[in-house]
Amino acid sequence: MSGTSIFIPQGFSYVAASLISVPLVLQWQAIYVSMARKAAKVEYPRAYAEKAEQEASPAAKVFNCRQRAHANTLENVPGAIVLTLLAGLGYPVFAASALGFWSFTRIIYTIGYGTGDPAKRIIGSELSGLTLLALLGGAGKVAYDFYVQGL
C-alpha cells in the first residue's frame, strides 16, 4: 500500500493564526447576544423572543436580531474553516487574509443586524459572502491542482 504525503507550505502558520479569529468573533457575538437577552428579559432556555414580545418591545426585536446574527455566523463557520484550510495548502497568505477579513465582515454584519433593523446587515452579509466565494475559488484551485498531480 502506497501513500501520499501532504506538504504543509511555508506560511501555513498564517492560516493557523487566522483560525483564531473565528472563536474570538463567536465569543464576542455570544456576549453581544447575552447583553440583549438581559435587556429584553428573555429567559433561558428560549432561543428567541416570541412575535408578540418582539412587537411590544424594541429590546426583544434587538435580541432576536442579534441572536439571528450569531446563529447565521455559526451556520457559516464550518464552510469558512474548511475552505480556508484547503485554500491554505496552496495559497496560505491569501487564505489567512481572506479568513481574517471574513471574521471582520461578521462583526460588521452583527453590529448592523444588532441594531434591530435587519436591513443594516446587508453590507456585512454581502462582504462576507464575497469573501467565502474567494475562499471557494482558492480551495477549488487547490483541489484542481491535487487532481492534476494525481493526488
User: What's the whole-number average pLDDT of the chain?
Assistant: 96
| 4 inside domain | no
Q: Is the predicted pLDDT of residue 9 greater than 60, yes or no?
A: yes
| 2 inside domain | no
Range 106-119 average pLDDT: 98
The contacts of residue 79 (CB under 8 Å, 6+ apart) are 132
The fraction of the chain above a pLDDT of 70, given in percent, is: 99
| 95 inside domain | yes
| 109 inside domain | yes
Range of the domain at 135: 12-148
| 7 inside domain | no
- Predicted structure pTM score: 0.92
Range 116-141 average pLDDT: 98
* Banded model confidence at residue 1, pLDDT cuts 50, 70, 90: low
Range 98-106 average pLDDT: 99
| 63 inside domain | yes
| 86 inside domain | yes
How do residues 22-72 score in pLDDT, each as one tens digit?
999 999 999 999 999 999 999 999 999 999 999 999 999 999 999 999 999
* Banded model confidence at residue 80, pLDDT cuts 50, 70, 90: very high
Total domains in the chain come to: 1
Q: Give exposure, 26-35, as e/b (b: 16+ Cβ within 10 Å).
A: eeebeebbee
Contact 88, 78 (CB under 8 A): no
Q: Is the predicted pLDDT of residue 82 greater than 60, yes or no?
A: yes
The CATH number given to whatever domain includes residue 80 is 1.20.120.550
pLDDT at 111: 99
Cα–Cα separations (whole angstroms), residue 114 to 33, 71, 78, 100, 128? 9, 12, 23, 21, 16
Q: Is the peptide bond before 45 cis (omega within 30 degrees of 0)?
A: yes
Cα 114 off chain centre by:
16
